Amino acid sequence: MSIQQQRATLTERGRDMDIAAASLTKRLRETERAASSPAAQTSSGGEWKRSAKLPDAPLFDDGVSVKFTPWRRAVENKLMLNADHYPSERYGMAYVSTRCAGKAQAQPQPRLDPTVSNRYKTAVEMLDHLQIIFKDPMERLIAKGDLFEKLVPGLQTLTVSDAFNDPVTLEDFVASCRRSALGLSRLTNANLDSIQQVRVENTRRKSSQSTSETTPSGEQKPSC
């Protein structure tokens, strides 16, 4: 499938996701209005109640049955509109974890450990990490293709396998481009050094030949 066809497919998927997101947003706004009314917020004694609980986001596994982008929107809306149910970031991260299953649930576990140095600090950070891994493969492939087209021919030769290898994430492809660019730069510098060395040696050789063809008194040797 060409890049143009992939873009058309992604555009069509984007429209479907926008329609679904608009429907969900409408439901959330209706729920928010109901939750913000005095009747919903106060009891008979005038005490504040917690906001009306919104539907949970669907379980997210590997980005096939449930696409990542609409799932993330649903999670973020839930945490925003039911913020009083999640009073700290740890509550928010715990909720994100409960809406993951299978591969998506296994991926964040090491960074949920409070003893590790790179542990998650916010639910947004956790969602960002999941996005790198599970973002729509078609969208990832198009983004890599666009970047690949902007590379110089030498870098394209070195990175072509990663550019069109579907499991390679955009982040990994960018890292591969950087490594290849560094290696190409070192190779180019080495070649330039070699060329310069050859030029110096040629200059010395010509100077030596010129000296050998001249007599000590400065007169040219007679030709045979």
Domain assignment of residue 175, yes or no: yes
Hunting for tokens 């969602």 — which residue is that? 127
End-to-end Cα separation, the chain, in angstroms: 74
Range of the domain at 176: 137-211
- 176 compared with 15, residue with greater pLDDT: 176
pLDDT digits (tens, 9 = 90+) for 142-158: 777 888 888 888 888 88
Asked whether residue 149 falls in the same domain as residue 89, the answer is no
Domain annotation covers residue 108: yes
Of 112, 56, 65, nearest to 89 (Cα)?
Answer: 112
Alpha-carbon distance 14 to 18, whole Å?
6
- Angle at the Cα of 184 from the Cα atoms of 183 and 185, rounded to 5 degrees: 90
Q: What would you report as the CA-atom Rg of the chain, rounded to the nearest whole angstrom?
A: 32
Residue identified by tokens 């982008």 is: 69
Count the alpha carbons within 13 Å of 148 in the hemisphere toward its beta carbon.
19
Render pLDDT for 3-44 as a digit per residue (tens, 0 to 9): 666 666 666 766 666 676 666 666 666 655 555 544 444 444
Indicate if 69 and 128 belong to the same structural domain. yes
**38-42, 48-52, 57-61, 117-121: range with lowest mean pLDDT:** 38-42
Whether residues 96 and 181 share a domain: the answer is no
Looking at 92, 114, 134, the residue that finishes a domain is 134
Task: Flag the least confident range among 96-100, 108-112, 120-124, 184-188.
Answer: 184-188
pLDDT above 90 for 85: yes
